[in-house]
Amino acid sequence: GDWSSDVCSSDLVVTKVMESVKKMSVSVEQQVAAEKFLEENPSSKFVGKTNKKNLVFESKNKQTKISPEGLLV
């Protein structure tokens, strides 16, 4: 069968975002925390990385940063 039809569009968006996150993550903890955050906030956008190596997500005009230790800051 065509597996792509089983994937709903929000999963696809999360997968694409996770690819960017994996490239930008500086630690496994950060990557895992980002994945968990995205699962809980599928509508959030990945904005980028700060000079302190925090990953930045935006959801409903609110920014969330995830530190290299995997903490929300």
pLDDT in tens, 5-47: 555 666 777 788 889 999 999 999 999 999 999 989 988 999 9
Is residue 21 packed enough to be buried (19+ CB in 10 Å), middle (13-18) or exposed (0-12)?
A: buried
- What is the predicted pLDDT for the residue at 1? 46
pLDDT at 48 over 50: yes
Q: pTM for the complete prediction?
A: 0.81
User: What values do phi and psi take at 3, rounded to 5?
Assistant: -65, -25
Using pLDDT thresholds of 50, 70 and 90, give the confidence band for residue 69: very high
Return the higher-pLDDT residue of 51 and 12: 51
Q: Among 39, 37, 72, which Cα is nearest to 54's?
A: 72
